[in-house]
């Protein structure tokens, strides 16, 4: 059965590429993916596959039932794009100004659609139920996973498998982690209220820019001096905005940043530590402040047993050349919520372009692209794990 699955997926590869390129040309940003959701639903309807729409927003769920009883396995792909201008010179370049699939959710969707199609073709010889979760709004917190779960997308599910096609990992490599694989992703905003004035009379002011500048430096000491060195963490200031006239001392300054961690204790400690430093800095300059810390997605923590099961199941996949236990990535993913609800795993499918001496553009870059062969590898890996899980239950 696994060999037949692989053969059918190989035969479906051209259709997979065609769908991916269509989606790449017609991207939609988070929470506005109505046409993409309709495209996904219509694909399933033409195959007479059971499909539900508007799950927790724009989410779509399809189900394929094997002829024999068994467990329920879920597979997930996201389908939102980013507000980035596509700068690639390719025939399938985005046709929507300022919007592109710069992270690869178009390929995740195409992979899952064709995998579902093949599993549906084989259903008379399969056990259990296969749930195909097409999730909206991964890129923008609070994300689509949580409302889809609240709407019941995981009801009755025994295990879930998910992957992210990863352009910085060589094609043919599957990268996994025994422990957290992606970080909790939080956002904070600090607004400093000083007293503005003339640039020539600083003694009459309370300089919000000076306070902000001190914070940019001092906040870096949280990770370097307050967090255990073997506990990965990141504190980044991504935006610093104040009055922009050369001869004016700013009345206010706003700093926006992100915190990345892998455990809740460190996450909560950094949240409190930022405010302690902000409070002390503003007190020394006689400014006031407002501080908002927004917890985003939690860390993605796969189940080690399920991860090892998936790795074992790849032995039959000829395109999987290397299984690599990589370092956790500090990026965030709301797939974390699925893993908090049911056991499962998440891994990176290598999708590095086959180029020689050319720059590899990473995720969220306007020149981002990938090796489309990785979709076939991802489909084979997810499909093999799902079918094998039923056979071993």
Residue 31 has pLDDT above 80, yes or no: yes
Does 2-182+300-391 carry CATH code 3.40.630.10? yes
Give the residue among 11, 180, 25 at the shortest CA–CA distance from 100: 25
164 assigned to a ligand binding site: yes
The predicted-structure confidence for 227-268, as pLDDT tens digits, reads as follows: 999 999 999 999 999 987 899 999 999 999 999 999 999 999
pLDDT of the residue at 213: 97
Distance CA 152, CA 145 (A): 11
Give the residue among 317, 331, 306 at the shortest CA–CA distance from 373: 317
Annotation says 138 is catalytic = yes
Residue 358 has pLDDT above 80, yes or no: no
CA distances from 390 to 71, 72, 158, 176 (A): 6, 8, 10, 22
- Which fold would CATH assign to domain 184-297? Alpha-Beta Plaits (3.30.70)
The burial of 108, by beta-carbon neighbours within 10 Å (0-12 exposed, 13-18 middle, 19 or more buried), is given as: buried
The predicted-structure confidence for 66-99, as pLDDT tens digits, reads as follows: 999 999 999 999 999 999 999 999 999 999 999 9
Distance CA 214, CA 217 (A): 5
Sorted by where each begins, the domain ranges of the chain are 2-182+300-391, 184-297
pLDDT of the residue at 356: 58
Residue 314 has pLDDT above 90, yes or no: yes
Query: What mean pLDDT is predicted for residues 133-152?
Result: 97
Annotation says 231 is catalytic = no
pLDDT of the residue at 357: 61
287 assigned to a ligand binding site: no
Q: Which of 33, 86, 138, 329 is catalytic?
A: 138
pLDDT of the residue at 243: 84
Q: Which of 33, 80, 186, 273 is catalytic?
A: 80
Could you tell me whether strands 59-65 and 127-135 are parallel, antiparallel, or unpaired per DSSP bridges? Answer: antiparallel
Convert 268-321 into a string of H (helix), E (strand) and C (coil): HHHHHHHHHHHHHHHHHHCCEEEEEEEEEECCECCCHHHHHHHHHHHHHCCCCC
305 assigned to a ligand binding site: no
Per the omega criterion (within 30 degrees of 0), is the bond before 142 cis?
Answer: yes
Asked if residues 175 and 164 have their Cβ atoms less than 8 Å apart, the reply is no
134 assigned to a ligand binding site: no
Q: Tell me which H or E stretch contains 188.
A: strand 184-193
pLDDT averaged over the chain? 97
392 pLDDT band, cuts 50/70/90, is: confident
The predicted-structure confidence for 100-141, as pLDDT tens digits, reads as follows: 999 999 999 999 999 999 999 999 999 999 999 999 999 999
Threshold 0.75, pTM exceeds: yes
């Amino acid at each position: 059965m696994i060999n037949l699955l692989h053969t059918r997926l190989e035969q479906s590869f051209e259709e997979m590429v065609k769908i991916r390129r269509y989606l790449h040309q017609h991207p939609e940003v988070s929470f506005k993916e109505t046409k993409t959701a309709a495209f996904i639903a219509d694909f399933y309807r033409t195959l007479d596959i059971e499909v539900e729409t508007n799950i927790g927003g724009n989410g779509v769920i399809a189900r394929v039932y094997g002829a024999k009883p068994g467990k329920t396995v879920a597979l997930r792909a996201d389908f939102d794009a980013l507000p980035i201008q596509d700068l690639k010179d390719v025939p399938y370049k985005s046709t929507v100004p300022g919007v592109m699939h710069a992270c690869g959710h178009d390929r995740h969707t195409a992979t899952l659609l064709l995998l579902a199609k093949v599993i549906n073709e084989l259903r008379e010889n399969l056990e259990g139920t296969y749930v195909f979760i097409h999730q909206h709004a991964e890129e923008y917190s609070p994300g689509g996973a949580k409302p889809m779960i609240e709407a019941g997308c995981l009801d009755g599910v025994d295990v879930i498998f998910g992957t992210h096609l990863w352009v910085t990992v060589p094609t043919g490599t599957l990268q996994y982690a025994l422990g957290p694989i992606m970080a909790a992703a939080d956002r904070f905003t600090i607004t400093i209220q000083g007293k503005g004035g003339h640039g020539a009379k600083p003694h009459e002011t309370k300089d919000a820019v000076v306070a902000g500048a001190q914070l940019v430096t001092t906040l870096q000491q949280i990770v370097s001096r307050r967090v255990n060195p073997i506990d990965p963490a990141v504190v980044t200031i991504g935006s610093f905005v104040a009055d922009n006239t050369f001869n004016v001392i700013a009345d206010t300054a706003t700093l926006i940043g992100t915190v990345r961690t892998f455990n809740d204790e460190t996450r909560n400690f950094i949240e409190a530590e930022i405010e302690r430093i902000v409070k002390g800095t503003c007190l020394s300059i006689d400014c006031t402040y407002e501080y908002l810390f927004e917890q985003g997605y939690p860390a993605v923590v796969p189940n080690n047993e399920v991860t090892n099961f998936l790795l074992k199941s790849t032995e039959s996949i000829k395109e999987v050349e290397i299984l690599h236990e990589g370092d956790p990535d500090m990026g965030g993913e709301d797939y974390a919520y699925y893993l908090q609800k049911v056991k499962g795993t998440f891994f990176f499918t290598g999708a590095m372009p086959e180029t020689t001496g050319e720059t590899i553009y990473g995720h969220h870059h306007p020149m981002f692209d990938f090796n489309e062969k990785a979709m076939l590898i991802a489909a084979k890996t997810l499909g093999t794990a799902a079918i094998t899980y039923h056979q071993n239950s």
